[in-house]
Structure 1
Amino acid sequence: MDALDLLNDLAQRPLDALGYVQDRWDPRRLNAHPGGHPNSPAWLLWHAAREIDVQVAHLSGRDQVWTAQGFDERFGLEVDPDDLGYGHTPEQSRAVTVSEDAAGLQLLQDHLAAVVAHAQEYIGTLKETDLDEVIDRSWDPPVTRGVRLVSVFDDAAQHVGQVAYVMGMGRGD
């Protein structure tokens, strides 16, 4: 297995993790704010997909799935096309909601699946040597394409894990 195979596997992990917890979905909890936190599970899933989408689109030079596939309209959020949730005020975070039924969950799943597929298509265009290219010199050490991609997918997987935790709260399991 080479580095691109590993990266492709890592890109799939957030979507796989979401699939593992489908039986725990409580639609009321998608928009809940445990402990008064401004970020709901719906926001976390939206953000996980958006961070992959925005950053892969930037790296690949391709359009974002958010606008290209109409997710901006399907979600009905009034956010900037490059908004991925970093720095959201509590009010902005609380505005990210989905319908509290199967359609809301399906929208979140479809969005994440679409951005993962887009990311995997992009990874398929790379050579291993592309992963060593420095893409951001504002950090010390400078960030390579490979490090940026690992960071994006790792962060998304962590957010899906947070959602899984919240979905399991109060169930006694």
Structure 2
Amino acid sequence: MRSADLLLDAFGRVQEAVYGAVEGLTEDELTVRIDEDANTIAWLVWHLTRIQDDHIAGAFGTDQLWTSDGWKSRFGLPFPAGATGFGHSSTQVAKVRAPAELLLGYYDAVHARTLEHLGSVTNADLDRVVDDSWDPPVTLGVRLVSVIAEDNQHAGQAAYVRGVVERR
């Protein structure tokens, strides 16, 4: 198995988890908070998609689909264009409202872009430094594993919230 195949499989599993957490829910269900400060499914999926969009674009030197493909306008959120949800307050989390189709549409666009980039990744590419603001500098391989780990954590959190919502 090539490294690219391994990465494609890992991102495919994230996609399955995202769909499992979102598909078939109403906008109201996607914005349920299991306590007053909890993250919603909508925010979790928007955030994991924004992180993936931001980090993949940075690693491969492309534009973020959030701005270049008009997703920011479609969502209409009151955040700056570069916002990814990192450090959001409880009030900001509550502002992320979107129907499942919009959340999954943006996710699918970012997922497709990710797969395009990964299809040609070689083992040697994984050692390329993509962010030298860290010590040690972050390589493409480390960045991709980081995105997969964060995406899986947030998709799992969203699945947990869905389970709580469905029991109500």
1:83-115 deviation per Cα after TM superposition (whole angstroms, max 9, x unaligned): 1011112222211112xxxxx001111111110
- 2:8 aligned residue: 8
In the alignment, what sits opposite 1:75?
A: 75
Query: 1:78 offset after TM fit, Å?
Result: 2.4
What amino acid maps onto 1:145 in structure 2? L
Higher mean C-alpha displacement, 72-81 vs 40-49: 72-81
Alignment-mate amino acid for residue 130 of structure 2: I
Partner of 2:31: 31
Structure 2 residue corresponding to 1:161, chosen from 150, 156, 159: 156
Aligned-residue Cα RMSD (Å) equals 1.9
Match of 2:52 in 1: 52
Q: Comparing 44-53 with 134-143, which one deviates more in the overlay? A: 134-143
1:137 to 1:62, Cα distance in 2 relative to 1, 3 A = closer
TM-aligned CA deviation for residue 26 of structure 1: 5.1
Normalised by the length of structure 2, the TM-score is 0.89
Conservation of the 8 A alpha-carbon contact between 1:24 and 1:168: no
Partner of 1:42: 42
Partner in structure 2 of residue 144 of structure 1: 139
Paired residues for 1:77-156 under 5 Å: 77-98=77-98, 104-156=99-151
Q: For structure 1, list consecutive stretches of 5 or more residues without a partner in the other structure.
A: 99-103
**Where does the alignment leave 5 or more consecutive residues of structure 2 unmatched?**
none
1:141 shift after superposition: 4.1
- For 1:16 and 1:170, locate their aligned partners in 2 and report how far apart those are by CA, in whole Å: 19
8 A contact 1:53–1:66 mirrored in 2: yes
- For the residues of structure 2 that align with 1:55 and 1:23, how far apart are their CA atoms? 25
With 16-25 and 82-91 compared, the bigger mean Cα shift is at 16-25
In 2: Cα distance, 1:95 partner to 1:22 partner: 18
CA distance 1:89–1:23, shift in 2 (3 Å): closer
The Cα offsets for residues 51-99 of structure 1, whole Å up to 9 and x where unpaired, read as 000111111111111122211111011222221011112222211112x
Query: Is the contact made by 1:38 and 1:94 (CA closer than 8 Å) also made in structure 2?
Result: no
Aligned to 1:101: none
* Number of residue pairs the alignment of both structures matches: 167
Q: CA deviation at 1:140?
A: 4.5
Runs of 4+ in structure 1 off by over 4 angstroms are 21-24
Aligned to 2:81, the other structure's residue is in SS state coil
How does the TM-score come out when normalised to structure 1?
Answer: 0.86
- 2:42–2:96 CA contact under 8 A, matched in 1: yes
